[in-house]
């Protein structure tokens, strides 16, 4: 989102955020997970020996000598040695294994390792080369050339079920006949915990691979929608999934006694109480889902769009319907993410999903939407718009008697600009040209735009400036703002992040991308930085910025993009461009974290960046 000054609304946002915090119920889901006390004879231990590969090869068994190495060409996560599987560009299978004994009677056992994948494969869809991690006869995970990254990523697995057993821990890399893929391992550990101390949390993000099917019908104005939604999902975590949470984000715009988003007749689970100002609905599953199992939850859905030129609101005859479809909350190592809505920025954290949304509406209304849309005749005087979108984090649409102009970017992306009344045809045409240029400029830097068509909906009454959704943006008539919102297709849309806890990962990166697209170098912009307090940091969460709203845009957008310009000056233009493109590729449809970006940046230079992060107040 590109914020614009709006003192009255800004003050209201802080007040509402404060009220939301005061009203936030303490629910069991928000608490730390319970752990069963264990017998006193448990001795917490590290079951893997020489997991950092710093003490030669023992007790590891290598399929061929030299897998454990300190040679040049790859780098360790720590120390001087690491394990390098494959990477030859020819048919090859490498195996590295060690016998481990998992103590019994402990609270838990967690296997972790750090993995770096680099490859010469150019595909974004085919796993030619693979690494499999196994314990005993159980495959924990399989990685491939599609998991390429510019630095190490930590992997974590709950292996408590092997307590009391002696089993082989095995890594097997297989490479086909051409184009090398290197699987680089370091710092392998299998830690057990005793007493009542819980084991390290499972960092896996779940429920994963959601697939949403939605069918809605509107009233004559397009401000009321009713129908049905279902979502199918898979538990990818080693920790069983006993419940899910649906985020009913737009209930922030109403009250718990008059909710704009109504969910009823839940199937596939039992609906619990609403929490977080009625923006989170717990659904208990009939039976816990184990790792790899899938389930479907369905419900009837009612949406009432309130008055106001907002990301969820209507400006006269024109409705903007962002964040209205309930989406699954994410559970990771921090537990369930049930953060409050923020009007100051975004609180949205979701995993890439597929949507098929059918919108039945009066034919007098145009309905731009996320994804690729097709229109078919409905009942008398009505049209059915069917929008399909793959690997997107949300779905938004608009409805109204918009003006529309269309074009195609030089790279072949279809672009549509929808305008409310009062916006001139020349302004709409100018914004169409801006959108075509922006989508190609960002794609050239970070990777091809994957979402089919791109829709921009213009209204100069938006108080917030602009707002991004996958394949769909809301914006003022502004070259800078539209270029920024389209940049969000990569930084939030394709490369996801936890927007509430790490807003700089989408806003600073997008503002930096906007500068590049508009030919701005950020020369000397860091020299004007002045911190308001010792606690103010680029990487602060929205909880901090909601309490310091006047500084949010200055620090997260301004100082954030200036820090990235400064990093470019340290690395050099070519290295910085490669870093961001490689980083986007490595996190394509995934989730970025500050720690992962810092590791990737450090891997791109021989200069120690420790003081850089400190100077620029980038923690994590």
Say what the pLDDT of residue 42 is.
55
Say what the pLDDT of residue 127 is.
93
> Does the pLDDT of residue 199 top 60, yes or no?
no
Largest Cα–Cα separation, the chain: 78
Say what the pLDDT of residue 151 is.
82
Looking at mean pLDDT, say which of 19-33, 144-158, 325-339 comes out highest.
325-339
Assign 154 a pLDDT band (cuts: 50, 70, 90): confident
Q: How far apart are CA 186 and CA 114, in angstroms?
A: 5
By mean pLDDT, which of 271-280, 287-296, 584-593 is the weakest? 271-280
Q: How far apart are CA 439 and CA 475, in angstroms?
A: 15
- Top-tier CATH class for 61-191: mainly beta
Q: How far apart are CA 76 and CA 114, in angstroms?
A: 10
Q: What are phi and psi of 115, to 5 degrees?
A: -130, 130
> Does the pLDDT of residue 9 top 50, yes or no?
no
Assign residue 482 a region: left if phi > 0, alpha if psi is -120 to 50, beta otherwise? alpha
Cβ 270 vs Cβ 277: under 8 Å? no
> In this structure, is the dihedral angle defined by the CA atoms of residues 245, 470, 463 and 216, taken in order, positive or negative?
negative
> Does the pLDDT of residue 193 top 80, yes or no?
no
Both structure tokens of 35: 């752990």
Q: Which residue in this structure is represented by tokens 């230079």?
A: 605
> In this structure, is the dihedral angle defined by the CA atoms of residues 38, 40, 43 and 47, taken in order, positive or negative?
negative
Domain chopping of the chain, boundaries? 61-191, 202-400, 402-493, 503-616
Q: Does domain 402-493 have CATH number 2.40.220.10?
A: no
Q: What are the tens digits of pLDDT across the range 402-436?
A: 999 999 999 999 999 999 999 999 999 999 999 99
> In this structure, is the dihedral angle defined by the CA atoms of residues 36, 38, 44 and 49, taken in order, positive or negative?
negative
Percent over 90 (pLDDT), the chain: 79
Say what the pLDDT of residue 43 is.
58
What stretch of H or E contains 436? Answer: helix 425-446
The beta strands (E) that lie in 89-223 are given as: 92-101, 108-119, 130-135, 138-144, 153-158, 166-175, 181-193, 208-218
Say what the pLDDT of residue 77 is.
86
Cβ 275 vs Cβ 27: under 8 Å? yes
Say what the pLDDT of residue 158 is.
82
DSSP string covering 292-318: T-EEEEEEEEEEEPPBSSSSEEEETTE
Spatial CB neighbours of 540, under 8 Å, sequence gap ≥ 6 = 555, 556
**What mean pLDDT comes out for the span 4-13?**
36
Say what the pLDDT of residue 464 is.
92
Please tell me whether the overall predicted TM-score, pTM, comes out greater than 0.85 for this model.
no
How much is the mean pLDDT over the chain? 90
Candidates 1.10.357.10, 3.90.1150.10, 3.10.150.10, 2.60.40.1730; CATH matching 202-400: 2.60.40.1730
> Does the pLDDT of residue 216 top 90, yes or no?
yes
Assign 195 a pLDDT band (cuts: 50, 70, 90): very low
Say what the pLDDT of residue 164 is.
81
C-alpha angle 339/347/474, rounded to 5°?
A: 155
Strand partners, 418: 404, 457
Cβ 370 vs Cβ 394: under 8 Å? yes
> Does the pLDDT of residue 27 top 70, yes or no?
no
> Does the pLDDT of residue 28 top 50, yes or no?
no
CA contacts within 13 A on the Cβ side of 479: 9
Q: What are the tens digits of pLDDT across the range 444-471?
A: 999 999 999 999 999 999 999 999 999 9
Q: What are the tens digits of pLDDT across the range 369-395?
A: 999 999 999 999 999 999 999 999 999
Strand partners, 507: none
Q: How far apart are CA 596 and CA 255, in angstroms?
A: 39
Say what the pLDDT of residue 33 is.
30
| Other Cβ atoms closer than 10 A to 529 | 17
Say what the pLDDT of residue 201 is.
61
**What are the CA-CA distances from residue 34 to residues 94, 287, 289 (Å)?**
40, 18, 18
Say what the pLDDT of residue 273 is.
85
Say what the pLDDT of residue 268 is.
98
> Does the pLDDT of residue 513 top 60, yes or no?
yes
Spatial CB neighbours of 385, under 8 Å, sequence gap ≥ 6 = 358, 359, 361, 367, 369, 373, 374, 375
Cβ 63 vs Cβ 95: under 8 Å? yes
**What mean pLDDT comes out for the span 256-281?**
94
Spatial CB neighbours of 259, under 8 Å, sequence gap ≥ 6 = 248, 251, 278
Say what the pLDDT of residue 150 is.
78
**What are the CA-CA distances from residue 310 to residues 4, 247, 253, 365, 399 (Å)?**
13, 19, 10, 19, 13
> In this structure, is the dihedral angle defined by the CA atoms of residues 566, 572, 574 and 579, taken in order, positive or negative?
negative
**What mean pLDDT comes out for the span 474-489?**
98
Q: What are the tens digits of pLDDT across the range 298-346?
A: 999 999 999 999 999 999 999 999 999 999 999 998 889 999 999 999 9
> Does the pLDDT of residue 38 top 50, yes or no?
no
């Amino acid at each position: 989102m590109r914020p614009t000054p709006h003192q009255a609304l800004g003050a209201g946002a802080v007040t509402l955020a404060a009220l939301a915090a005061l009203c936030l119920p303490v629910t069991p889901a928000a608490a730390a997970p319970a752990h069963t006390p264990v017998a006193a004879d448990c001795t917490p231990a590290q079951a893997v020996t020489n997991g950092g590969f710093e003490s030669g090869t023992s007790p590891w068994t290598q399929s061929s000598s030299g897998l454990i190495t300190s040679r040049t060409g790859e780098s360790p996560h720590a120390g001087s040695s690491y394990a390098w599987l494959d990477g030859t560009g020819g048919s090859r299978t490498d195996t590295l294994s060690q016998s481990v004994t998992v103590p019994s009677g402990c609270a838990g056992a967690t296997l972790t390792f750090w993995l770096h994948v680099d490859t010469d494969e150019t595909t974004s869809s085919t796993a030619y080369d693979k690494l499999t991690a196994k314990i005993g006869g159980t495959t924990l995970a399989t990685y491939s050339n599609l998991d390429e990254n510019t630095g190490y990523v930590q992997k974590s697995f709950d292996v408590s079920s092997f307590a009391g057993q002696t089993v082989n821990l095995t890594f097997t890399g297989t490479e086909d006949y051409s184009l090398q893929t290197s699987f680089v391992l370091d710092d392998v550990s299998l830690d057990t915990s005793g007493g009542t101390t819980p084991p390290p949390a499972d960092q896996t993000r779940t429920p994963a691979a959601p697939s949403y099917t939605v069918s809605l019908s509107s009233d004559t104005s397009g401000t009321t929608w009713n129908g049905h939604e279902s979502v199918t999902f898979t538990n990818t975590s080693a920790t069983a999934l006993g419940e899910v949470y649906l985020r009913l984000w737009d209930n922030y715009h109403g009250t718990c006694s008059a909710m704009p988003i109504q969910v009823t007749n839940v199937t596939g689970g039992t609906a619990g109480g609403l929490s977080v100002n009625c923006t989170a609905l717990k659904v208990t599953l009939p039976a816990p889902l184990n790792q790899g199992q899938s389930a479907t939850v369905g419900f009837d859905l009612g949406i009432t769009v309130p008055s106001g030129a907002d990301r969820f609101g209507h400006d006269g005859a024109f409705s903007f319907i962002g964040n209205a479809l309930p989406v699954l909350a994410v559970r990771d190592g921090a537990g369930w993410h049930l953060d409050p809505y923020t009007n100051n920025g975004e609180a949205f954290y979701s995993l890439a999903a597929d949507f098929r949304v059918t919108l039945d509406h009066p034919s007098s209304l145009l309905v731009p939407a996320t994804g690729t849309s097709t229109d078919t005749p409905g009942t008398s005087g009505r049209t059915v718009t069917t929008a399909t979108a793959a690997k997107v984090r949300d779905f938004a649409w608009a409805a109204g008697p918009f003006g529309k102009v269309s074009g195609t970017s030089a790279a072949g992306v279809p672009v549509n600009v929808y305008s409310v009344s009062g916006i001139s045809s020349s302004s709409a045409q100018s914004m169409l040209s801006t959108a075509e240029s922006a989508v190609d400029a960002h794609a050239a830097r970070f990777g091809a735009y994957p979402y089919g068509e791109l829709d921009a909906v213009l209204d100069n009454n938006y108080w917030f400036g602009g707002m991004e959704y996958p394949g769909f943006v809301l914006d003022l008539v502004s070259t800078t703002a539209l270029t920024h919102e389209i940049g969000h297709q990569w930084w939030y849309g394709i490369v996801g992040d936890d927007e509430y806890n790490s807003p700089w990962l989408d806003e600073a990166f997008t503002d930096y991308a906007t500068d590049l697209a508009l030919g701005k170098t950020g020369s000397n912009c860091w020299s004007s930085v002045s911190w308001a307090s010792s606690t103010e940091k680029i990487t602060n969460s929205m909880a901090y910025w909601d309490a310091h709203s006047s500084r949010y845009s200055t620090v997260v957008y301004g100082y954030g993009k200036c820090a990235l310009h400064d990093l470019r000056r340290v690395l050099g233009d070519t290295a910085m461009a490669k870093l961001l493109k490689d980083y986007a590729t490595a996190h394509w449809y995934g989730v970025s974290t500050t720690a992962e970006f810092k590791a990737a940046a450090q891997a791109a230079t021989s200069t120690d960046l420790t003081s850089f992060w400190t100077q620029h107040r980038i923690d994590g």
